[in-house]
Amino acid sequence: MRGTILRFQGVITPSAKKEFVKLGETEKRQIEAILDAKGTISFLGVKWFHGNFHLKFLTIENYIFETPKDFLFPYLEDLSIWNCQLKQTRILAPNLRELDFYGSKLFNLSFLKEFKILRNLTVLNCDLSNSSNFFAISCLKNLKELNIKKCNLTSVPPLENLPQLERLHLSRNRIKSLKSMENVQNCESLREISLQHNEIVDLCGFEPLVHLKGLRVLRLNNNCINKFEITAHLPNLSSIYLVHNEISSVSGLWNLPSSKGFNFEYNKISSLLNIRSTKKVPHVRGLYFGNNHLKSLDFTTMENFPNIEEIEVPGNQITRIAELDALPRKAAVSGFNPDFINRDTFFGLKSQARSFGWVLDNFFDSKPGTLYFAGLVLVYKINGFIEIRLYAPRRVELFVNGKRFAQCRFLLLNVDITNVDIASEAKQIHSIDEAEKFFANRYPDQKEFEKYSRKIAAQISPKEIFWAHASNIQVWAEHDYDTKLLHRTLAFPLLRELTIAGDPIAKRVFKREIARRFENGDSTVRKFLKKGNYLSFFTKDELDAIYL
């Protein structure tokens, strides 16, 4: 068989050759025909079906499909065609699920109609200038993902009646407008469209997308968009990618109620006044303007963004701050970068912020400066003695009897309930301190564990952090200050402070909690109680009873 292969004019790689010799005669002859015509078989995988080895994976290169010929591969699931020409051919592969073309010239797409259960189709860097029958794609009723990239498309091809299509990728073409998105019809499962690296200037107000009710993600980065003006109402579109365009003005964000943030990095916005809104935009939490043309931060238009929490402006030469009274107090503005703002200008900005009751700090601590309101943002009263307060940007403080007690910190535990072993072991945990120890043991060291916890916490909004703290303290209070429900470093100092403040429940349970946790708690709790001198509250007889 080895000698037979050597006489072919084409090339078959060594790994493919090992699989080729296993094939049954029918499929083997078809591969031989490709090799005889100077084609290349770079990858070939087989699987045992019904008493014989059959093709399951196949990659064909440098072959011209020009003579009318049928290729029959009944069990083929994955086919790649690279640097080929498809003029006349018929590939019969009823089980084909993955098909990709690379660097090929496609004259006619009608052969696609044969692939009834195809799920993924990729056409990359191919010449479609002479191709016809795009309608053949609409015959692929099980298609879930369609990629047509770097094919010089100037408009979106007709795509109709594809009920399973979820993702459409048309990046790196030459599409100039969203108008041709009207060619996509009856694709009710379509969730994601990628149009980055095209030549799009005209968004048409997103009107051509209105009929795509399920659209969630739209990628438009690296285009030529100069105005982001939305007139169509798209209630389900939640993620829009806009970096590296030429956007100078924005309007109509209220028409995108599911989008919580807009990233305008690397555009040409020169003023926040160009973020126009005639209506309230309560759903927006974040606006990102890194590396634009901002010089003056006039926050006048931010009064229409009542729930804005973060604005980022790195890479801009900010020289002025104005109308801070219009910016919601929960918001933090970050990115005052010393690489773009000199020392004197920064202190001028700091003075401007102070005149409005805001603080601008961190500029010379190797981090970009952050602007935030110096006063109180939110207050929640737990009971007559305990109060939780939120200060921008993310500072949560605990007050006892009207006096500041501590800044709240928390350890965030991410429990994988799908892991049966972890879930089973986690059921044996009886306190927050035991939980900390259990999950910390899964990391190389304590610092790594805390770093992971902070990483997750950074993804949570200030308001969510505030209510998480408030909820924890509320539950703790409702359970008569059960110290198992809070971390030891907060539970015991807070319980002691409440006792001193005269809280009757705290006075009743203080010594009981110390004794209970010293007797039944783990070593970290006992060590903490000793080091914190909590045992000094007991008489000698009481201590003897505890140690017994």
- pLDDT tens track, the chain, 548 positions: 334 444 567 899 999 999 999 999 999 999 999 998 899 999 999 999 888 999 999 999 999 887 777 899 999 999 999 999 888 778 899 999 999 999 998 877 888 888 999 999 999 999 876 666 678 899 999 999 999 999 999 999 999 999 999 999 999 999 999 999 999 999 999 999 999 999 999 999 999 999 999 999 999 999 999 999 999 999 999 999 999 999 999 999 999 999 999 999 999 999 999 999 989 999 999 999 999 999 999 999 999 999 999 999 999 999 999 999 999 988 999 999 888 888 889 889 999 999 888 998 876 656 788 998 888 888 999 999 999 998 866 788 899 999 988 777 665 555 554 554 544 554 555 666 666 665 565 656 666 656 666 666 667 777 888 888 899 999 999 999 998 888 888 999 999 999 999 999 999 999 999 999 888 877 888 899 889 999 898 888 888 887 75
Burial code of 83-104, b = ≥16 C-beta within 10 A, e = fewer? bbbbeebebebebbbbbbbbeb
Report the pLDDT value the prediction gives residue 174, as an integer from 0 to 100.
95
- H or E stretch covering 358: strand 358-361
d(CA 57, CA 28): 14
Distance CA 171, CA 194 (A): 6
Would you say 219 and 191 are in contact if contact means Cβ atoms under 8 Å apart?
no
**DSSP three-state, residue 230:** coil
Q: Which of 159, 103, 171 is CA-nearest to residue 134?
A: 159
Give the residue carrying structure tokens 């690397």: 266
Q: Which two tokens stand for residue 28?
A: 């083997």
Coil vs helix vs strand at 39: coil
Distance CA 475, CA 497 (A): 18
Are residues 379 and 389 in contact, defined by beta-carbon separation less than 8 angstroms?
yes
- The DSSP H or E segment spanning 391 is strand 386-391
pLDDT of 180: 96
Residue with token string 């964000």: 253
302: number of Cβ within 10 Å: 25
End-to-end CA distance of the chain: 85
Q: How many whole angstroms separate alpha carbon 26 and alpha carbon 272?
A: 69
Measuring CA to CA, which residue among 312, 354, 305 is closest to residue 337? 312
Phi, psi of 261 (to 5 degrees): -150, 150
Is 493 within 8 Å of 513 (Cβ atoms)? no
Nearest to 382 by CA among 405, 364, 361: 405
pLDDT at 494: 93
Q: How far is CA 295 from CA 223, 320, 491, in A?
A: 24, 7, 48
Closest CA to 144 of 114, 113, 112, 121: 121
∠ CA 342-346-349, nearest 5°, is: 145
C-beta separation of 99 from 125 below 8 A: no
Residue 340's pLDDT is: 86
Residues 99, 103, 109: CA angle, nearest 5 degrees? 50
Q: Are 22 and 53 in contact (CB under 8 A)?
A: yes
What tokens does 227 get? 């105005």
- Tell me 158's DSSP state: P
Indicate the angle between helix axes 446-457 and 432-440, nearest 10 degrees.
Answer: 110
Domain ranges of the chain: 380-547
